[in-house]
């Protein structure tokens, strides 16, 4: 079978293992069913902005045209640097976006994907976020009323913990078994008094497993601009990556807006 359409990030359900879907505009494809099968993903040479739909040569920030990249609130610098969130100064690029995404309860969390990292997320988006990062375990440690405060705490904790995922290690499933609640106890003294009232009581740790037939020994990241077609046996899906038997991996979110055909 074949479907043609513009790539959008993989969607998923937090089942065990996580169920992944690829949607190319028609009905979505359950990727878990393709494990062990040969699939082919081919870039057809056309790209379109995931927000306004205009045809473009190059995408910015995973799928946007340049005007959308420079004008939309979701592409502002404060999205990657939440401590710079300026919603409260009334200068957000889009008040409605700020209301919905930033002036909302946020978690500061600990997650294990490659190493233990600290991160923040909108509370209601937490599970989606952890799966998109390929976390195998995660636990929220604080709930704060808005994004900037979460960013301020993250900055403090990131002096002592990583705040990025080593994606190669994550894809190879290389990690050190760690009790996140013990790490929490270790970082509590690092949280300034003024934020302590936002600490959550210990919660059960969320665990995630991902569809996988085998773990790749080498990782070859694939860029559809450089190699427009990949055909091979699908051996795993993790975070936003499809993993092929020959070691090639493709980050679907990175290719948002690329028109592709998908054979399966």
* Rounded Cα–Cα distance for residues 236 and 73 (Å): 34
Give the angle 6-119-60 at the CA atoms, nearest 5°.
30
The distance of closest approach from Cβ of residue 66 to Zn ion in the complex, given in angstroms and rounded to an integer, is 8
Other CB atoms within a 10 A radius of the CB of residue 132 amount to 17
Q: Does 73 bind Zn ion (CB under 5 A)?
A: no
Show the site string, 147-176: x = touches Zn ion by CB under 5 A, - = not.
Answer: ------------------------------
Nearer to Zn ion, 68 or 260 (CB): 68
Q: Does 51 bind Zn ion (CB under 5 A)?
A: yes
Stretch that binds Zn ion, among 50-58, 126-134, 219-227, 234-242 (CB under 5 A): 50-58
Question: Residues touching Zn ion: how many (CB under 5 A)?
Answer: 5
The distance of closest approach from Cβ of residue 76 to Zn ion in the complex, given in angstroms and rounded to an integer, is 15
Q: Does 68 bind Zn ion (CB under 5 A)?
A: yes
* Rounded Cα–Cα distance for residues 140 and 58 (Å): 37
Q: How many residues does the chain have?
A: 264
Which of 18, 41, 65, 250: binder of Zn ion (CB under 5 A)? 65
* Rounded Cα–Cα distance for residues 74 and 77 (Å): 9
Phi, psi of 244 (to 5 degrees): -105, 160
Nearer to Zn ion, 65 or 78 (CB): 65
Stretch that binds Zn ion, among 11-19, 47-55, 92-100, 104-112 (CB under 5 A): 47-55
Which of 49, 110, 139, 187: binder of Zn ion (CB under 5 A)? 49
The distance of closest approach from Cβ of residue 77 to Zn ion in the complex, given in angstroms and rounded to an integer, is 18
Nearer to Zn ion, 68 or 157 (CB): 68
Which of 4, 52, 84, 190: binder of Zn ion (CB under 5 A)? 52
Stretch that binds Zn ion, among 58-66, 142-150, 176-184, 205-213 (CB under 5 A): 58-66
Stretch that binds Zn ion, among 59-67, 106-114, 218-226, 227-235 (CB under 5 A): 59-67
Nearer to Zn ion, 56 or 222 (CB): 56
CA distances (Å), 91 to each of 84, 98, 104, in order? 11, 10, 17
Q: Does 112 bind Zn ion (CB under 5 A)?
A: no
Binding positions for Zn ion, rule: CB under 5 A: 49, 51-52, 65, 68
């Amino acid at each position: 079978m074949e479907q043609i359409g513009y790539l959008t990030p993989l969607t998923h359900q937090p089942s065990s293992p996580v169920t992944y879907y690829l949607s190319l505009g028609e009905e979505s494809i359950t990727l878990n069913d393709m494990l062990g099968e040969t699939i082919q993903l081919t870039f057809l040479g056309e790209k379109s902005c995931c927000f306004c739909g205009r045809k473009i040569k190059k995408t910015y920030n995973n799928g946007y045209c340049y005007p959308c990249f420079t004008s939309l609130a979701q592409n502002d610098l404060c999205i990657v640097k939440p401590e710079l969130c300026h919603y409260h100064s009334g200068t957000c690029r889009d008040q409605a976006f700020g209301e919905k995404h930033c002036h909302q309860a946020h978690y500061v969390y600990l997650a294990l994907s490659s190493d233990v990292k600290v991160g923040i997320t909108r509370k209601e988006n937490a599970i989606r976020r952890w799966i998109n990062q390929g976390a195998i375990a995660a636990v929220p440690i604080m709930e704060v009323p808005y994004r900037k405060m979460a960013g301020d705490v993250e900055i403090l904790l990131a002096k002592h913990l990583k705040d990025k995922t080593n994606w190669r290690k994550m894809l190879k499933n290389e990690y050190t078994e760690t009790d996140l609640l013990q790490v929490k106890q270790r970082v509590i003294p690092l949280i300034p008094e003024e934020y302590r009232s936002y600490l959550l009581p210990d919660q059960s740790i969320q665990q995630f497993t991902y569809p996988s037939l085998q773990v790749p020994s080498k990782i070859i990241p694939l860029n559809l601009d450089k190699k427009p077609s990949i055909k091979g046996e699908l051996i795993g899906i993790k975070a936003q990556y499809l993993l092929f038997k020959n070691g090639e991996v493709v980050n679907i979110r990175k290719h948002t807006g690329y028109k592709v055909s998908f054979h399966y």
